[in-house]
Structure 1
């Protein structure tokens, strides 16, 4: 069943979600009450069922998302082989800046690994966020830098780090995901087959 929909944040559940977003924003910049109300109007709830796509290859990234709950993965399709290079979970922002900023088709893919609830803001509304909120551009720049650096590090690591090192980085960066997502996605992130991942995990356990 497709449960992908948008709705305004005008109920109690919506208030809980927008407060979570505001807490994240206020860790970086100050916002006054009028700006908080504007943010609540600009962001909308959107749900993705497990397996649905936030962004498909060849599509233009139209939204920036803030994950309330659930897990998403970033990957590319390399000659028919899926190569996972990053994950996003609760309180993370999700976006493909290389597609979103110039509004051009994406090579990268973003997929829900669990049922996910996000607050999303579209490209045009984000421009209003930048112009109407005193620190909007600064916060936007911080988010773009955060997502871009994380994406770049993930892609570089995929091609430069050993599978053992990538597994160690996964455990350090995403400890809660070890038991939440299928092992073949972790193997895809590490860059090995699931059988090889089992051997890497065994060696990692023996070293502790």
Structure 2
């Protein structure tokens, strides 16, 4: 993999650097299991029932994980530019996921082939360590999300979402409301009260 290609994926390697600095050789090897995917607004990156074999990095755009409960579309999480998004429970169990990944605007995604990635672990321990740290961070974020539902009000959770990104206005209100576990009417009240 040439250096120009790695330069193209600068945001991805900047993200990796937050967890662990990789050698130039290891970056080249890692770039070799990556590819770029372009999606249009509202396209599915992964459908429900798909067995996840890919880790995604949002280069630009917005993605969400969602599922259906009693026929209602529920948003579990959002990923903005500079974030990883993956169906971890499917990736590690090899079972089809009951959830899907969708982009909410035209997006550029870097896809990391997990099958090829995991084969690199023995030969490149730093790659294994990097992804262990990334998955540990993801686990902590999931616990924090569960605790925010348990201990914080919908308004506090909305304010927390606003702190994560300045592009919340690009997300349809129905997705934000389902993410917060409230109705769109309640969300409108919250938005009006904090202006």
TM-score, L = length of structure 2: 0.87
Q: Aligned residue for 1:36?
A: 27
TM-score, L = length of structure 1: 0.82
Give distance in 1, aligned partners of 2:131 and 2:152: 30
Q: Which runs of 5+ in 2 are unaligned?
A: none
Q: Aligned residue for 2:97?
A: 106
Deviation at 1:195, TM superposition (A): 2.4
Give distance in 1, aligned partners of 2:41 and 2:162: 23
Within the candidate set 27, 40, 44, 1:49 is matched to: 40
Alignment RMSD: 2.2
Give distance in 2, aligned partners of 1:100 and 1:60: 7
What whole-Å deviation, never above 9, does each CA across 1:60-102 have from its counterpart, x for those lacking one?
A: 1110011110100122211111221211011111101111011
Aligned length: 195
Deviation at 1:129, TM superposition (A): 3.4
8 Å CA contact 2:53, 2:115 repeated in 1: no
SS of 1:104 mapped into structure 2: coil
Q: Which runs of 5+ in 1 are unaligned?
A: 1-8
Deviation at 1:24, TM superposition (A): 1.8
Within the candidate set 80, 84, 89, 1:93 is matched to: 84
What whole-Å deviation, never above 9, does each CA across 1:147-191 have from its counterpart, x for those lacking one?
A: 2332344355446643223212222233x1222222222222222
Residues 67 and 76 (structure 1), Cα distance of their counterparts in 2 relative to 1, 3 Å cut: same
